[in-house]
Amino acid sequence: MVNERASLLIVDDERGPAESLRMVFKSSYDVYTAPGGEEALAVLRERPIDVVTLDMRMPGMPGTEVMEHIKRFDPDIEIIVVTGYASLDSAIRGLRHRVFDYVTKPWDVPQISDLVGRAVERRRSTLRARNFRDYFLDNLSHELRTPLNAIMGFSDMLTEQLQPQLSAEHQATFERIQANSQRLLNLIESVLLLNSLEVGDVRCVADAFDLHDVFASARRRFSTLAQEQRLTLVTEAPSHPIEMKSDRKKLKLLLSCLIDNAIKFNQPGESVTLAVRVIDDERTLEIDVIDRGPGISSEDIQDLIQQASAPADPSPAATQVGLGFGLRLASTLARLLGGGLSAHRRVNGGSVFTLRLPRELPEGGSTDYV
């Protein structure tokens, strides 16, 4: 539920303007003040904030950087820039991060009161929409999981009971039911996970494992689907163990998104390659997922990774259902694991998605995302 009383954070190193704003709003809002960027971020981590008034020129962390950290922490917090030193660069960054408005010093009380009030209203509307979305997704997940689990359970039971009587064709049919049911269940779980990731509700749990085990799990998981598409799964990795200390479950999901995407947009009779390299004095891994499908431009690939939007120009790949969702989830998970995802189009057709990850998860996860 959204609290009835909104909260306002005033970030300004000048005590006079900060105190004046606090006096203006203290009767209507829960007001907090911070003399700099580090202090402001500390307040955000300790209590919910709806609106921030932000001075752009402060010692230490500049206002533009504070703005970027705030939006990374919660993109729906409304920011009102209060400054006497507006510049084109700060205006451009403000537009990029959806700043609510600008106010120049000395400010007018009715004007800034109106701006803060409207910013609070927009923040509250966003939170109501977010809460409804979470409620809808939770209920949708339950409604879809129940029949899907029944389908998977009964098909598994029938496969075991009828095993001696099943022909190769019937066996393959049951395997397709299981593989596609699991794929649908993974999609449901991925939608919920992406929603949680985007509101910052997910953290990493690191454990030690060998990357070869993760690759083997991926091959088993996608073997039936690859056979249906007449594709070959190829792994290229050093023979020696590749020890990691990261979140194994999230890495498996990340690779599943990339492999599923590669299978979906590949050509029958071709292969999907999973290749790994150890770089940076063995501190970092680069994992390539390579398909040999029709391919799309490198620019469109990057757009899909970042925004999950469809390419502007129609192409064979653009007509496929679901293009971009898995890539968006993969990119978000890569940042959460302390790395990143990039891609390019192959000269001879197809695409290469390169996942770059530290072998050991950074303390507290990725500071770029969380």
Per-residue pLDDT of the chain (370 residues; tens, 9 = 90+): 445 789 999 999 888 889 999 999 999 999 999 999 899 999 998 999 999 999 888 888 888 888 888 888 888 899 988 876 655 455 555 555 578 787 877 888 888 899 999 999 999 988 887 777 677 767 777 777 778 888 888 888 888 888 788 888 888 888 888 878 877 877 777 777 776 776 666 778 899 999 999 999 999 888 888 888 889 999 999 889 999 999 999 999 899 989 988 888 888 888 899 999 998 788 999 999 999 877 666 566 656 555 543 333 334 333 333 445 678 788 888 988 999 998 888 877 788 999 999 999 876 554 343 3
pLDDT of residue 92: 56
Q: What is the pLDDT of residue 317?
A: 38
Residues 137 and 263 in one domain: no
Q: Say yes or no: 82 and 62 in one domain.
A: yes
Provide the token pair at 71: 């939006």
Is residue 364 included in any domain, yes or no? no
Q: How many other C-beta atoms are found inside a 10 Å radius of the C-beta of residue 154?
A: 11
Residues 214 and 267 in one domain: yes
Choosing from 198, 220, 249, the residue where a domain stops is 198
Beta strands in the chain (DSSP E): 7-11, 30-34, 51-54, 78-83, 101-104, 207-210, 232-236, 243-246, 271-279, 284-290, 340-345, 351-358
pTM: 0.54
pLDDT at 65: 85
Residue 2 in domain: no
Are residue 123 and residue 141 in the same domain, yes or no? no
Mark whether 225 and 319 lie in a shared domain: yes
In which domain, by residue range, is 41 found? 7-128
- On whether the CB atoms of residues 25 and 68 are closer than 8 A, the answer is no
Structure-token pair, residue 32: 């907090």
The answer on 300 and 214 residing in a single domain is yes
Domain shared by 187 and 229, yes or no = no
In angstroms, how far is CA 307 from the centroid of its own chain?
10
Bridging pattern class, strands 232-236 and 271-279? parallel
Q: Indicate the residue among 109, 128, 147 that finishes a domain.
A: 128
Pair 245, 166 in one domain: no
Cβ distance 213 to 170 under 8 Å? no
In a domain, 366, yes or no: no
Q: Which residue has the tokens 């971009």?
A: 324
Q: Would residue 369 count as lying in a domain?
A: no
Please indicate, yes or no, whether residues 116 and 137 belong to a single structural domain of this protein. no
Number of domains in the chain: 3
* Distance in angstroms (rounded) separating the CA atoms of residues 6 and 116: 10
Contacts of 21 (CB under 8 A, 6+ apart): 10, 12, 31, 53, 82, 112
Distance separating the N- and C-terminal Cα atoms of the chain: 23
- CA dihedral sign of residues 360, 363, 368, 370: positive
108: Cα separation from own chain's centroid: 40
35 with 174, same domain? no
Residue 110: inside a domain: yes
Does any domain span residue 26? yes
Report the pLDDT value the prediction gives residue 354, as an integer from 0 to 100: 93
Q: Assess whether 191 and 257 both reside in one domain.
A: no
Give the CATH number, domain containing residue 294.
3.30.565.10
- Residue 88: the pLDDT is 47
CA dist 133 and 145 (Å) reads 18
Q: Are 264 and 158 contained in the same domain? A: no
Looking at residue 90, what is its pLDDT?
A: 54
Residue 303 lies in a domain: yes
Amino acid at 95: L
pLDDT value, residue 285: 94
* pLDDT the model gives residue 95: 58
Distance between CA 139 and CA 141 in Å, rounded?
A: 5
Q: C-alpha dihedral over 160, 166, 169, 170, to 10 degrees?
A: -50
pLDDT of 75 = 82
CATH of the domain at 76: 3.40.50.2300
Q: Which residue has the tokens 């194994």?
A: 248
In a domain, residue 281? The reply is yes
Residue finishing a domain among 128, 157, 174: 128
Q: What's the pLDDT tens digit per position in 54-67?
A: 988 888 888 888 88
